Amino acid sequence: MEPTSQFFSINLSLLPLQRKLPIDLYINASVKGKIKFVRVFPKDDQLTENFREQLQKKYAQFYVPESQRQDYFLLLGEYKKVEEVRLVKEMAVDHLQKVFESANAQELTQQLKHSPQVVQQMGDALADKSIEELKIMIGQLSFHDFYTFDHSINVCLYSLCFYRMIYPKASKEKLMTMGVGALLHDIGKLKVATGIINKPGSLSDEEFASIQKHPEEGVQMISPLIKQLDQKINWQEVLKVISQHHENIDGTGYPAKIQGEDIHHMAKVCAFADIFDALTTKRSYNEVVSFEKALEILASLQNKKLDKKMFESIMRGMGKGLAQVHKKFEIDHKFDPSVPYRKLEIKEKASRTIKETAHKVIKTH
SS (H, E, C) 131-188: HHHHHHHHHCCCCCCCHHHHHHHHHHHHHHHHHHHHCCCCCHHHHHHHHHHHHCCCHH
Helices (H), the chain: 49-58, 69-78, 84-100, 105-112, 115-125, 131-139, 147-166, 172-183, 194-197, 205-212, 214-222, 235-244, 265-280, 291-300, 308-318, 354-363
- % of the chain at pLDDT higher than 90: 32
pLDDT at 365 over 70: no
- 192-196, 266-270, 347-351: least confidently modelled range: 347-351
What is this structure's pTM?
0.70
Tens of pLDDT, residue by residue over 35-77, are 889 999 999 999 999 999 999 889 888 999 988 887 887 776 6
Q: In angstroms, rounded to a whole number, what is the distance separating the alpha carbons of residues 172 and 27?
A: 36
DSSP per residue over 44-59, as a string? TPBPPHHHHHHHHHH-
Please give the pLDDT value at position 322: 41
Helices 354-363 and 308-318 cross at an angle (nearest 10°) of 100
Q: In angstroms, rounded to a whole number, what is the distance separating the alpha carbons of residues 33 and 16?
A: 34
Residue 143: count other Cβ atoms within 10 Å of its Cβ.
17
User: Which range, 24-28, 101-105, 125-129, is most confident?
Assistant: 24-28
Please give the pLDDT value at position 300: 87
> CB of 117 within 8 A of CB of 69?
yes
Q: Is 61 left (phi over 0), alpha (psi -120 to 50) or beta?
A: beta
Question: Burial code of 305-342, b = ≥16 C-beta within 10 A, e = fewer?
Answer: bbbeebbbbbbebbeeebeebeebbbbebebbbbbbbe
Name the strand (E) or helix (H) holding 65: strand 62-65
* Domain-wise residue ranges, the chain: 1-79, 82-363
Choose between 134 and 334: higher pLDDT.
Answer: 334
Residue-averaged pLDDT of the chain: 80
Decide if domain 82-363 falls under CATH 1.10.3210.10.
yes
Please give the pLDDT value at position 7: 86
